[in-house]
Amino acid sequence: MRQFAIPDELLQLLAQRRVIPFIGAGFSSTRALPGWNDMLERLAADIDSPLRFDEIHKACRGDPLQIAEYLFLISGGTIGPIGQSLSGQLRAEQPLLESSPHIELINLGAQQIYTTNYDDLIEQTYRSLGQKVEVVALPRDVAVSHGDAGTQIVKYHGDLRYAETLVLTECQYYQRLDFDPPIDLKFRSDLFGRSVLFMGYNFQDVNIRIIWFKLKQMMKDVPQDERTPSYIVRFEPNEVIETLDAAVGLKTIVIDPNAAAATADEKNALFAEFMLSLSMQASSEATIPLTGEPMFVSSALLDGLRDALGDEPSSPRRNSPGSLFLLPGVSGLIDHLARRRIPDDLGPEAHDVFVRLITSGDLWATGSPLVAALVIRYSEVYGASRALTLGVALGLMSADAGSPLSLRLEHGLDWTLVWQRTLEHNDAERLIALGERELEARQVGDIPDLDRAYAIDIAARLVAGELTESPLGDKLTHRAKALIDQAAGF
């Protein structure tokens, strides 16, 4: 997992729920939603523009506000046709919970989230995970909102449900600068004592320029040294823009300083990793700040563990115990997997990662308490399975001498679940081979330890036919009996 330099002050503010995420269109790029240019081009087609989009784009010098203004005028000066087109374009096709940034946004536990996006992906993600959410889009929403109905999603530039609220054209943006609508007044109130974290905006995004101008106006009476710092997340460094932002108190977090992410997919994956890292660093206990509720597993967390596991062979790697734990960030990922709630839609993906981890010989060889926590969590969520039986058998036989791993398992594991599933013959051979390696590593006169005793017990279970659906066969039975005899001789 890549490491990101996140300011300590921002992490402290997140832990105190004093950060207001401000979300732009780039935040939803993982959902395959169109960017500004693509959206306007489709809009031109939907309203049957008399000019081709490339002609409009050239005439307006690529200015999205002027392009939108022109399309608004030729559509009859009404927002209805435009709103209908946008509703069709901003309907996500992919499963809702596949967007890691949206899940990790919930894990940050913000009390208010502001967004210039017209879509409903943020609030729908909250609802899909059973979290309380309140949408503020109309003036009356501001009047009746009390902030006690869950996280507030404030639609700063309108909501597709109410075409009259959409801020899209040049004139509409300028009108927002000329007066203070209720949502601006609310923003000013919410802002005091809090930090704003802008995400999903690029360097040229007109939204961020106008919002920051409004923000500076709101804060003009507050001395600079008394203002809580605000932040913006950008992919690549830009010294000029960062200098200008810093002069007005906006600090930049660069997540791709070497511009390594070249494609849209690479950028999406990088941003998902950043959001995961942000939530993990904000709470090492994997709990949503202040609420104390467990965070949710995201696809980014599962992808990070899959990348770490790679094409690991199924046989135990006793010659390099714990090499998986040496990879950056893997311990934290395992810890969060064992603690977080698993959304139903991600259940099968999470199950696959759990199985690969708990049946990893390399992982068990470490004797880490994280492995025990992982197995206990797996048993709680998925119940009896071949993977649970194999994983625990590996763990009992692999723990280093003196490790309290088995005691941790005894105090938290439902052992009736462990032996309710049978193993395949290749599993049995793997366990016998591990037992043989354990005994080869022991010298006569060693103090007996638990993993040797467990090796004898599991071999005896295999010989008795308790762990496999069919007899082992002569060869494996002979090896298992020899293991028992050799172990008993120590």
CA–CA distance, 277 with 273 (Å, rounded to integer)? 6
Q: What is the 3-state secondary structure (H, E, C) of 129-189?
A: CCCCEEEECCHHHHHHCCCCCCEEEEECCCECCEHHHCCCCHHHHHHHHHCCCHHHHHHHH
What pLDDT does 28 receive? 80
What is the three-class DSSP state of 201? coil
What is the three-class DSSP state of 374? helix
Q: Are residues 242 and 98 in the same domain?
A: yes
Q: How far is CA 6 from CA 102, 203, 276, in A?
A: 19, 20, 12
CA–CA distance, 395 with 357 (Å, rounded to integer)? 11
Each residue of 24-43: pLDDT tens digit?
Answer: 888 887 666 677 788 888 88
Mean pLDDT, residues 176-205: 81
Each residue of 65-115: pLDDT tens digit?
Answer: 888 889 888 888 777 777 777 777 767 666 668 889 999 999 999 999 999
Q: Are residues 322 and 449 in the same domain?
A: yes
* CB atoms closer than 10 angstroms to residue 272: 23
Q: Which helix (H) or strand (E) holds 423?
A: none
Q: Are residues 278 and 375 in the same domain?
A: no
30 within domain boundaries: no
* CB atoms closer than 10 angstroms to residue 205: 18
Q: Are residues 177 and 148 in the same domain?
A: yes
Each residue of 205-254: pLDDT tens digit?
Answer: 666 777 777 777 777 777 767 678 899 999 999 998 888 888 777 899 99
Q: Which residues contact 257 (CB under 8 A, 6 or more apart)?
A: 236, 237
CA–CA distance, 345 with 349 (Å, rounded to integer)? 9
133 within domain boundaries: yes
Q: Are residues 357 and 467 in the same domain?
A: yes
Domain limits for position 374: 299-488
Number of domains within the chain:
3
What pLDDT does 229 receive? 86
Q: Are residues 234 and 337 in the same domain?
A: no
What is the three-class DSSP state of 470? coil
Sheet containing 195-199: which strands, arranged edge to edge?
A: 133-136, 151-155, 112-115, 19-23, 195-199, 230-234, 250-254
CA–CA distance, 83 with 92 (Å, rounded to integer)? 16
Q: Are residues 208 and 254 in the same domain?
A: yes
Dihedral (C-alpha) 40, 44, 47, 48: value to the nearest 10 degrees?
Answer: -170
Q: Which helix (H) or strand (E) holds 197?
A: strand 195-199
Q: What is this structure's pTM? A: 0.86
Each residue of 421-457: pLDDT tens digit?
Answer: 889 999 999 989 888 887 776 654 455 567 777 888 8
